[in-house]
Structure formats: structure tokens, C-alpha cells
Amino acid sequence: MMKNLKKLTALAGICAVTVASLAACGQSGTTTETKADTNAAQTEAGSQAAESTADSAKDTQAASEASADLSGSITMAGSTSMEKLANAVAEAFMEKYPNVTVNAEFTGSSAGIESLLSGSVDIGNSSRALEDSEKQNGAVENIVAIDGIAVVVNPDTKVENLTKEQLAQIYTGEITDWADVDGDSAPIVVIGREAGSGTRGAFEELLDVADKCTYASELDSTGAVMAKVASTPGSIGYVSLDVLDDTVKALKLEGVEPTAENIKAGNYFLSRPFVMATKGEISEQSEPVQALFDYLSSAEGKDLISSVGLITVD
């Protein structure tokens, strides 16, 4: 009996050792497989990262080669209100495409479109919508930004707000004293732009006072209007929103401040398009001109437009 018990005990010990060994082998196999899977995943991830880096490098190289390959010149003329935008675009574009030169002149919107249609320039800058006659002669309206027109007064003027009707009456000569619009009694000196100015055309059209205005001074640039209003007591003028500074005071219109946010929301009524017109469709233009419009519609170009105080278009 004792012999049989000893045999059974020995067999049980052998079985326990065998089971433990098998379990250890199973765990070892599982561990080995897990490590293999992990290594494979890491290898695949590394390969994907390498491919992504390579693709990015190829894109950068392709963009660099495209910049180096593009060469030529672009000429534009037109709106003085678009000077800040045109200069910023020219500088950024020439930095991006070193073999392309961009030359801009600021002769007024109508003169710029005339130069375009005569073939003197590649792009005619206009701070108003194109007229039907200009379109009929081949000019294509390419709106690149939206600008607000700010009504500005001498900083000493007490008035803060005008209604649309009051503003129209001031420019047509029906209201001639600031006392009539809740200001101190003083003559209103009406400043405007010269005939043919895009800013003047848009301003008078939006107020419905075309050919009805009575101006004390008609000046040939946005900067001249700013300087005249800043130095003339009782004066009022209109300028592009993006040139505002503390030398003048911008009025609220119908209680609404002239800001990009208010223009986007449709709450501020004095706004107009900034047009870079071409003779024929953009696709018919030279490679540098097409590349310029591609740049303006890119994220980089839209950031530039916003940086000069204008509103981007989709």
C-alpha cells in the first residue's frame, strides 16, 4: 500500500512539472508573438512616417522648382485706394517668385481700366464695380477683396454719427452747418475725390447722389483726402477703410461703426469691391498673371488681404 502511495505521489509531481513547463512555453510563445507584432507595427509606422516626409520634401521641391521656373513681368495700374493692397501683393509675390517683376501705378480706377483696354497694362485695378461699357469692351471683373468706405471728419468735430439721409444731404449741400446734425455750429467743409475716382463713384452710387454733390475740394488721392480732413476744421471726407488712422475721426453711419466685421455682417452700407480686371478671362492671361490670381485665392493670399484691413472673398 505504501509503495503504491509513493508511486502516485511521484506521478502527481511529474504531471505538475509538465503542466508548468507547458504553461511557461505558452507564455513564452505569446510574448514572442507580441514582441514580433509590436516590432512589425513600429516598422510600418516608421515606414509611413518616412514616406510622408519624403512626400513633403517632394512637394517642397516641386514648389521651389515652380517658383524658379516662373519668370516674366506683370504690370498693373488704377485705383489709388488699392495702393496698399497692390504694393503688398507685389512684394509678397516677387518674394515667392524671384524671377517675376510686378510694377504698379496708381492713376485712378477709370484710368486703370482705360490702360487695361488699350493694352498698356496686364491688370486694371478698380475700387468700384466695372461699368457695362467697360465689360462690353473686353474687361473682366475679378473681385479680389471687399473694402469699406469710411466717412471721416476733423478730430475736433463733436458729431459721432450720421444717418444715411443726413450724409446725403451734407454732400448735396442741403445741410451746411454741423449744428443741423447735433454738432457745434460751424460750416461743413465737404471734401471729395476727383471725377473718375473709384472711391467717389462707389460713394455717390451707394448714397444715390451721383452728379448732385457740392464739393469744396476735389482731391486726386486717398492720402490727400486724409491730409486735408486732418488739417481742416469742420471738414468731412470719405476714404478707404484700410487707411484709417488717428489723424482723423471715423463716423458711425446709422449707428454702425466702419469695421470689417460689420461689413461682413451686412450692417454697414458703405462698402465696395476691389477689382483686379483683366482683358479676357484669367485663363487667357500670361503664366505670371495666372499665378498671381492663384496666389490671391490661396490661403496665403487671403491672409495677406486680411492683413491690410480688407475682407476676403470666397
pLDDT at 137: 98
What architecture (CATH level 2) is domain 147-271? 3-Layer(aba) Sandwich (3.40)
Residues pairing with 125 in the sheet: 78, 276
Domain ranges of the chain: 71-145+273-307, 147-271
pLDDT at 53: 54
pLDDT at 24: 45
pLDDT at 260: 86
CATH assignment, 71-145+273-307: 3.40.190.10
Q: Tell me if domain 71-145+273-307 and domain 147-271 are identical in fold.
A: yes
Q: What is the pLDDT along the chain (314 residues), one digit of tens a residue?
A: 444 434 434 444 443 434 344 344 444 444 445 555 555 556 565 556 556 555 555 554 555 556 768 999 999 999 998 999 999 999 999 999 999 999 999 999 999 999 999 999 999 999 999 999 999 999 999 999 998 999 999 999 999 999 999 999 999 999 999 999 999 999 999 999 999 898 999 999 999 999 999 999 999 999 999 999 999 999 999 998 889 999 999 999 999 999 988 998 889 999 999 999 999 999 999 999 999 999 999 999 999 999 988 899 87
Per the CB < 8 A criterion, the answer to whether 239 and 150 are in contact is yes
pLDDT at 280: 98
